[in-house]
């Protein structure tokens, strides 16, 4: 097992990464305050792993909420079912929530913990690659609104993140690829050597080689932990983690939540960001090609949906959380491994990028 730390002073927390960590109760127990534990999962993950986690919680007063599965259920109605379960079970302020599942379960559960009785602790047990390398770390929680992705939420850090890489054995190939999009993101924004490592090891990752996956998860979590520790509330550098997300969120909302997976939309968004960077002369054409090839080898889409036009993109992008004073800022690339956050891009070049699918 490897342990990383998200260094946030008194709110610092560990990320445990290893095989067969479900079944080691000592990794969870010390982060649970009080006796009452609400375990939140969904109808796909619960039959696979819920009982194992409940067995780790012997000695606590436990209750469970099983959510419907899908991005289209990441909304206020689903959130409310968690509040109802907490109240029906008379859970008080001293309770702890545990999220067992992918990023959807993690984001909703985290937001429930952030707001139930003005805030209670929660732990993350991520079971998708995407959740293990990104969403379970860093404390962004929330739900979607019909008009915009993740528009309602809060920053609320977990007390610990427990990553059992064996849970990936049951994940299908499309979801594994979606997680690889966020892994590739870290190489693009922060670590050119890691990007090159991914180029060398993509076949091993796709074949689910445990050593390769373990390294990719550790390196991704280490980069995310470093960025979050430097800028927890996204007043600067953390926005780099949104490479491809402004385009990607528009694709997810524009095509209907759940049609494109989050990681697929981010993959296409990252290529759009690379394309726009190259149109400004900031990024070499060769770097754009390498990005496209790596995303495609991961099994990810790189062309925006034909059903979306420039106007729809622009409308959806105008409510991005990085808009300040009415001005859209984008995460673009100055070089391989070097992201920048800028509002200083040319509108006619953005138009060209937004039309690259037509």
Which residues contribute to the site for ligand GLY (CB under 6 A)? Answer: 134, 138, 140, 238, 241-242
Cα separation, 99 vs 140, in Å, equals 13
Residue 320 binds what, of ligand GLY, ligand NAD, none (CB under 5 to 8 Å, by partner type)?
Answer: none
Among 118, 311, 327, 348, the active-site one is: 118
Question: Are residues 163 and 18 in contact, defined by beta-carbon separation less than 8 angstroms?
Answer: yes
The C-alpha atoms of residue 351 and residue 313 are separated, in whole angstroms, by: 10
- Measured CA distances, 57 to 18, 26, 30, 171 (Å): 19, 10, 11, 24
Q: Taking CB positions, which residue lies at the least distance from ligand GLY?
A: 241
84 binds, among ligand GLY, ligand NAD, none (CB under 5 to 8 A by kind): none
The distance of closest approach from Cβ of residue 228 to ligand GLY in the complex, given in angstroms and rounded to an integer, is 7
Q: Which residues contact 7 (CB under 8 A, 6 or more apart)?
A: 225, 229
Distances from the Cα of 304 to the Cαs of 122, 198, 266, in angstroms? 36, 24, 10
The minimum distance between CB 239 and ligand GLY, in angstroms, equals 8
Task: List the one residue from 18, 71, 317, 345 that touches ligand NAD (CB under 6 A).
Answer: 71
Question: Quick one: tokens of 165?
Answer: 């890489």
Query: Per residue in 232-244, is it b (16+ CB within 10 Å) or e — as a string?
Result: bebeebbbbbbbb
Q: Which does 242 bind (CB under 5 to 8 A by kind): ligand GLY, ligand NAD, none?
A: ligand GLY
From 40, 46, 131, 243, residue interacting with ligand NAD (rule: CB under 6 A)? 131
Indicate the residue among 168 and 350 with the shorter CB distance to ligand NAD: 168
In angstroms, the CA 250 to CA 254 distance is 6
User: E strands within the chain?
Assistant: 2-6, 13-18, 36-42, 61-67, 96-101, 122-126, 140-145, 148-155, 161-164, 330-335, 338-342
Q: What are phi and psi of 157, to 5 degrees?
A: -80, 140
Residue 156 contacts ligand NAD per CB under 6 A: no
Closest distance of CB 280 from ligand GLY, Å: 24
Active-site residue, 140 included: yes
Partners of residue 162 on adjacent β-strands: 16
Find which of ligand GLY, ligand NAD, none residue 341 binds, CB within 5 to 8 Å per kind: none
Q: Which two tokens stand for residue 347?
A: 């509108």
Of the candidate residues 56, 86, 163, 171, the single one contacting ligand NAD (CB under 6 A): 171
Least distance from ligand GLY to the Cβ atom of residue 89, Å: 30
Shortest Cβ 111–ligand NAD spacing (Å) = 10
Residue 136 C-beta: closest distance to ligand GLY, Å: 10
Q: Which residues bind ligand NAD (CB under 6 A)?
A: 42, 44-45, 48, 69, 71, 74, 101-105, 107, 127-128, 130-131, 134-135, 138, 140, 150, 167, 170-171, 175, 178, 262-263
- Residues serving a catalytic function are 118, 140, 182, 224, 234, 238, 242, 245, 249, 262
């Amino acid at each position: 097992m490897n342990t990383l730390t998200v260094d946030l002073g008194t709110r610092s927390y560990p990320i445990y990464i290893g095989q067969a960590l479900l079944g080691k109760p000592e990794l969870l127990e010390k982060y649970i305050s009080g006796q009452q534990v609400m375990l939140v999962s969904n109808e796909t993950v619960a039959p696979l792993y819920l009982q194992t986690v409940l067995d780790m919680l012997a000695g606590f007063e436990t209750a469970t909420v099983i959510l419907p599965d899908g991005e289209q259920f990441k909304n206020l109605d689903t959130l409310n079912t968690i509040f109802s379960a907490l109240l029906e079970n008379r859970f008080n302020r001293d309770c702890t929530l545990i999220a067992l599942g992918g990023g959807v379960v993690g984001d909703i559960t985290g937001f429930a913990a952030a707001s139930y009785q003005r805030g209670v602790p929660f732990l993350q047990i991520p079971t998708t690659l995407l959740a293990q390398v990104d969403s379970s770390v860093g404390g962004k929680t929330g739900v979607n609104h019909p008009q915009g992705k993740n528009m309602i939420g809060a920053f609320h850090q977990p007390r610990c993140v427990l990553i059992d890489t064996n849970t990936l054995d049951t994940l299908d190939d499309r979801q594994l690829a979606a997680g690889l999009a966020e892994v590739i993101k870290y190489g693009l924004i922060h670590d050119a050597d890691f990007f090159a490592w991914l180029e060398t090891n993509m076949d091993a990752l796709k074949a689910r080689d445990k050593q390769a996956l373990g390294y990719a998860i550790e390196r991704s979590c280490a980069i995310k932990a470093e960025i979050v520790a430097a800028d927890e509330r996204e007043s600067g550098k953390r926005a780099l983690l949104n490479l491809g997300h402004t385009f990607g969120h528009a694709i997810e909302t524009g095509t209907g939540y759940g049609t494109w997976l989050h990681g697929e939309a981010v993959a296409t968004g990252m290529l759009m960001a690379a394309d726009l960077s190259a149109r400004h002369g900031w990024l070499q054409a060769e770097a754009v090609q390498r990005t496209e090839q790596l995303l495609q080898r991961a099994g990810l889409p790189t062309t925006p949906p034909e059903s979306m036009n420039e106007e729809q993109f622009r409308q959806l992008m105008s409510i991005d959380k990085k808009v300040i004073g009415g001005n859209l800022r984008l995460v673009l690339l100055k070089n391989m491994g070097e992201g920048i956050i800028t509002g200083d891009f040319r509108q006619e070049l953005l138009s060209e990028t937004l039309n690259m699918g037509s």
